[in-house]
Every structure is written in C-alpha cells, then in structure tokens.
C-alpha cells in the first residue's frame, strides 16, 4: 500500500466521520431526504466560492457555501408552511432548482474553475493525494482535502459536544422540548447547518450523489443496533471508516470509482446488518 492509498482512505474516512454525526440525527428525525436536498443545493454556493477564490476554495469560502444549505432549508420551510405545498414536493422542487442553477454556473464559467460536471456528480477522491499543501519553507503538509475534512470534523465535534442535549431533546420529543422553552426551530437549523458543513466538505471528494450514502447509510445501519444515541453515533462512525477502507480496496481490485465503491460497501454493510438483525434479533 502506497502513501497515496493511505491519503485517499484517510480522506474518505474523515468525510465519512463528518457525515455520520449529522446523519444520525437526520435518520432519527426521519429527514434523510433533507440530507439529499442540502447536498445538492450547496452546489451554487460552492461554485460561487470557487469563482471568488480562483482555483482553490479556502475554508472560509467553504463555510460561506454551507450557508446555501441553510438557505435551502429556509426556502423549503417557507414553501411548505406559507404556501402549503406538501413536504416532499417542496423539497423536490427546491433542491433540484438550486442544483440546476449550480450546473448552469459551472457551464458558464467552466474555464475559470477546476470544477466540472463530472467532479460535481461523482467527486474526484482518487486525485486527493496530488493536491497538496506546501508551506513557504518547503515543508510538505500532505493533501489539502485531508486538512479541510479534518478541520471540519473538529468543528462538527465541537458543535456536537456543545449542542448534544438540544439536538437530542428536540429530536426525541419536539413538543415537550418546546414546553421546556427550548426553541425547536433553532435546533432544526443547527442540525441543517451541520449537514451543510458535512456536505460541503464531502463534495469535492465524493460528489453530490454519493454524499447521501455517507450521511444516511452508516446511521441507518447503526440505528438497527444502538441502544443509546452516543453508541449510535460511534457505530455509524465506525461503519463509515470500515466502508471507506473496504470500499477503497474494492475500487482498486475492480479498477472502478472510489466513491462509488465506498457507497456500495455502505449498502452491503447495511444489508448484512439487516440479515444479522433478522436472524439474530437479540
């Protein structure tokens, strides 16, 4: 195994960890489709971030792009509540619209960014090791993506640590939370912000389509077994990392897309977990 293999697996694992944290709450809230919506809707924000920064998106701009994710949440709420459009229709029309705007922006400014439509859909995790950060002193710090994903994981862990009780309470029993004076809406947006951050950082490496597998797959598998929420998050995180490792080697053996193979691995682990649960219920 070369150092490049290591960097790719590490990047995939970090992305999987970033997704597992908000993913667990999405699954418990039965809002998996919101993850899909946000992961697509951050595209225009990302394109604008890339356009502003030239070729490399800085972490500050990535945070800016994550705001697009919150924007889509807001638009969906608005259409649903004020216009009384049903929930899935509101989600469907909003995120496809924003995603399409992103795609058009890419075609218009294709020469000016290193994003292309292929990358947007499937990610380019195999190229991660070639985009490195080198300090002025000549010190090689390793791939840029590893640093971005690692930093984002840290941010998400801090939010989880501070906001755990709020997220936990509003996810389990929103009505009760509200009578305690806890703002259900606020925590909804905190979670959606976390999903946005996770998807923005995942975008370059795994693409818009596969992000949803990272968000929902490990969390749904963990939900089959976990007795308490901290365990669910831990199990989902482990499944994400395992899928990244096995998925990478699957991709090497088959000479196939890395992010696709990881997503397949996530699906396989979920199926195995279902069988396990079916035949050994305890």
Partner 1 sequence: MIIQTENPSIEAHNLTVIYHRKPVLWNIDFTLPKGQIIGIMGPNGAGKSSLIKAILGLVPVNSGYAKIFGKSFDEVRQKVSYIPQRQTVDWDFPATVQDVVLMGRYQQRGLFGKITQEDKVLAASALEKVNLGGFVNRQISQLSGGQQQRVFIARALAQQAELYLLDEPFVGVDAATEQAIIALLQQMKSEGKTIVVVHHDLHTAKEYFDWLVLLNASLIASGPTSEVFTEELLKSTYSGKLTVLSQVGDQLRERNFPVREA
- Of 63 and 223, nearer to partner 1 (C-beta) is 223
Q: Which is nearer to partner 1, 228 or 278 (CB)?
A: 228
142: left (phi over 0), alpha (psi -120 to 50) or beta: left
Helix (H) or strand (E) holding 142: strand 140-143
Binding-site ranges for partner 1 (CB under 8 A)? 28, 30, 84, 162-163, 165-166, 169, 171-173, 175-176, 178-182, 223, 226-229, 231-232
Q: How far is the CB of 87 from partner 1 (least distance, A)?
A: 15
Q: Give the Å distances, CA to CA, from 255 to 1, 98, 248.
A: 15, 33, 10
Closer residue to partner 1 (CB): 25 or 95? 25
Across 153-173, b (16+ Cβ under 10 Å) vs e yields bebbeebbeebeebbbbbbee
The Cα 121–Cα 39 span in angstroms is 11
User: Given the complex with partner 1, which of 106 and 167 has the nearer CB atom?
Assistant: 167
Please report how close the Cβ of residue 51 comes to partner 1 at its closest, in angstroms: 39
Residue 224 CB, shortest distance to partner 1, in Å, is 10
Give whichever of 52 and 185 is closer to partner 1, judged by the CB atom.
185
Name the token pair of 105: 């922006």
Q: Measured from the CB of residue 172, what is the shortest distance to partner 1 in angstroms?
A: 5
Smallest gap from Cβ 282 to partner 1, in A, equals 11
Q: Which of 159, 206, 197, 192 is nearest to 62 (CA)?
A: 197
| Cα 89 → chain centroid | 22
């Amino acid at each position: 195994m070369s150092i490049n293999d290591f960097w790719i697996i590490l990047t995939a694992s970090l992305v999987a960890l970033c997704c597992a944290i908000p993913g667990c709450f999405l699954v418990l809230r039965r809002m998996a489709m919101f993850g899909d919506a946000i992961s697509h809707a951050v595209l225009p924000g990302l394109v604008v971030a890339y356009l502003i920064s030239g070729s490399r998106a800085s972490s500050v701009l990535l945070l800016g792009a994550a705001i697009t994710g919150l924007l889509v949440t807001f638009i969906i709420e608005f259409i649903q509540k004020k216009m009384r459009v049903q929930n899935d229709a509101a989600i469907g029309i909003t995120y496809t619209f924003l995603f399409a705007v992103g795609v058009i922006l890419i075609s218009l400014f294709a020469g000016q960014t290193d994003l292309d439509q292929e990358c947007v859909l499937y990610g380019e995790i195999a190229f991660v090791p070639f985009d490195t950060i080198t300090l002025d002193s000549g010190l090689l710090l390793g791939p840029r993506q590893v640093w971005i994903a690692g930093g984002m994981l840290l941010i998400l862990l801090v939010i989880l640590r501070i906001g755990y009780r709020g997220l936990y309470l509003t996810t389990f029993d929103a009505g009760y939370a509200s009578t305690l004076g806890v703002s259900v809406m606020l925590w909804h947006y905190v979670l959606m912000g976390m999903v946005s951050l996770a998807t923005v950082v995942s975008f370059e490496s795994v693409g818009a389509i596969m992000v949803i597998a990272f968000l929902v797959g490990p969390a749904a598998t963990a939900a089959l077994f976990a007795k308490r929420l901290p365990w669910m998050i831990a199990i989902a995180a482990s499944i994400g990392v395992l899928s990244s490792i096995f998925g990478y080697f699957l991709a090497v053996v088959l000479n196939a897309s890395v992010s696709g193979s990881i997503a397949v691995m996530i699906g396989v682990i979920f199926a195995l977990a279902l069988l396990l649960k079916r035949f050994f219920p305890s």
